[in-house]
Amino acid sequence: MTAETAEGFPTKTGEATTVATTTAPQRGQSSGWLAKVLVLIIGVAWTIPTAGVFVSSFRAEVDVSSSGWWTVFAHPFDFTQYTLANYSRVLTAEDMFEAFVNSLIVTIPATVIPITLAAFAAYAFAWTRFRGRSFLFAVVVGLLVIPLQMSLVPLLRLYGNYDLTGTFVGVWLAHAGFGLPLAIYILYNYISQLPKDIFESAHIDVATPFTAFTRLVIPLSYPALAAFAIFQFLWVWNDLLVSLVFLGTNPDIAVLTVSLAQLVGSRGQAWHLLTAGAFVSMIIPLIVFLTLQRFFVRGILAGSVKG
């Protein structure tokens, strides 16, 4: 009787970026070396665990369970101690390509849909008045606490009634639902701090509330949008529980995490394949992070308010 992981690791948390209103700050030149050393130490400490597994992913299972991964550095160029077998097993496993594509089909909309819903909602909460605004907002933020395990069973029943299990739309909506409180929280935080002046200048563009939203607020909110997009993408890409429950294991729709879990075997026999599997799976989120990272920070409001 074995049981495996049930949920993706990254948990839902939020962010609050303040709006940068100045040009790039120049940092102090003195004591730069201390900073560099500390950064190096922390960086290395953080990477060692992952590096260990990275090295292990190139070792045969026999070696992995009998000697530490650092022993390869005794003879780093002795190539007989490395193998590509783990990667080849993972990459050529049946339906692995399909699973990869399925993960993309699931993750991209499951990131964009909550962003869209939340952007509209956050804008409305921040810049329009309507009855029930405070109450609804408090409820939405309060929902941050709900652990998704609580929703699984009732939702599954609902889905069963509407024939939504095993469909992409079903899982998009589920992920959207679970990610919305955080999305609204992040985006509201950001949008509410945009200076009023930008709306003053908007009248030149003959804007309606809708176009003000699409042409002004959205572009200005890229840091917040990017921040949430990164976290949501990671979370959905690495999720196992929701995909297992709402999508299933049929190769037509199974995602990467589900396929990798199956690869390990009913009793976890091929657990060492997870070393290679983890890295194969990590590539896309890493790319996403590196791409969206630059939107985080630099002041983009500089100058748009004047005149």
Partner 1 sequence: MSKRWLIATITALSLIVASCGGDGETATTAGETATTAGGATTTAAEGEATTTAGEPAESTGYEHLDQAMAGEFEGTTVEIVAQWVEGEEENFNLALDPFREATGIDVQYEGLPDYELALQTRVDGNDAPDLAQIAQPGKMAQYAGDGVLVDISGWFNVDKLAEEQVEGFVDLTMVDDAVYGVYYKTDVKSIVWYPVAPFEEAGYAIPTTWDEMTALSDQIIADGNGNPWCIGIESEAADGWVATDWLEDIVLRTAGVDFYNQWWKHEVPFNSPEVLAAAEQMSAIWFAPDYVYGGNVAINATNIRDVANPMFDPAGPQCWFQKQASWIPEFWPGNRDVPDRAEWENPPGEASSFFYLPGIDPAVGNPVLGAGDMFVMFTDGDRPEVRALLEYLATPQGAQAWIEVGGFISPNTTVPTDWYTSYPNTDLVPILNEADAFGFDASDLMPAEVGAGSFWTGMVDWVAANGEGTEEIFQAIEDGWPAG
Partner 2 sequence: MAEAVEARLEANRRPRWTIGRDISVAAAVVVLIWLGLRVLRSETALDALGPFGGKLVQALIGIVLGVVGIWALFVVANSLVELLPARATSVLRPYLFVGPAIAVVSIFLVAPAIGTIIQSVTEVPEGEGPFYNFVQAFTDPALQLALRNNAIWLILAPAGALLIGLVFAALVDRVKRESLAKAFIFLPLCISGAGVAVIWRFIYEWRPPGQPQIGILNAIVTGFGGEPVPWLQEIPINTLALIVAFIWIQTGFAMVILSAAIKGVPIELMEAARIDGAGELQTFLRIVLPSIRGSVITVFTLSAIAVLKVFDIVYVTTNGNFETDVIANRMFNEMFRFRNFGFATALAVVLLLAVFPIIVINVRNLRRQGIGA
> Per CB under 8 A, does 73 bind partner 2?
no
Subset of 106-145 contacting partner 2 (CB under 8 A): 108-110, 112-113, 116-118, 120-121, 123-130, 133, 136, 138-145
Closest CB to partner 2 among residues 58, 64: 64
Closest CB to partner 1 among residues 189, 259: 259
Contact indicator for 93, 85 with CB cutoff of 8 Å: no
Residue in 192, 219, 265, 302 binding partner 2, rule: CB under 8 A: 192
Which among 97-105, 137-145, 200-208, 262-270 is the span making contact with partner 1, rule CB under 8 A?
A: 262-270
State which amino acid sits at residue 275.
Answer: T
> Per CB under 8 A, does 62 bind partner 1?
yes
At its nearest, how many Å lie between partner 2 and the CB of residue 218?
Answer: 11
Subset of 190-249 contacting partner 1 (CB under 8 A): 211, 214-215, 240, 244-245, 247-249
> Per CB under 8 A, does 234 bind partner 2?
yes
Q: Where on the phi/psi map is residue 85: left (φ > 0), alpha (ψ -120 to 50), or beta?
A: alpha
Subset of 34-53 contacting partner 2 (CB under 8 A): 35-36, 38-39, 42-43, 46-50, 52-53
Q: What does the alpha-carbon distance between residue 217 and residue 133 come to, in Å, rounded to a whole number?
A: 19
Site string for partner 1, 135-154 (x = CB under 8 A): -----------------xx-
Nearest to 225 by CA among 303, 142, 115: 115
Answer with the entry of partner 2, partner 1, none that 99 interacts with (C-beta below 5 to 8 A by kind).
none
Contact indicator for 243, 175 with CB cutoff of 8 Å: no
Which among 75-83, 85-93, 103-111 is the span making contact with partner 2, rule CB under 8 A?
A: 103-111
Answer with the entry of partner 1, partner 2, none that 244 interacts with (C-beta below 5 to 8 A by kind).
partner 1
Closest CB to partner 2 among residues 58, 238: 238
Closest CB to partner 2 among residues 88, 291: 291
Residue in 81, 167, 262, 304 binding partner 2, rule: CB under 8 A: 167
Q: What does the alpha-carbon distance between residue 284 and residue 291 come to, in Å, rounded to a whole number?
A: 11
Q: What does the alpha-carbon distance between residue 307 and residue 293 come to, in Å, rounded to a whole number?
A: 30
Contact indicator for 223, 261 with CB cutoff of 8 Å: no
Sites of contact with partner 1 (CB under 8 A):
1-6, 60-62, 65-66, 85, 152-153, 155-157, 159-161, 163, 165-167, 211, 214-215, 240, 244-245, 247-250, 252-253, 258, 261-272
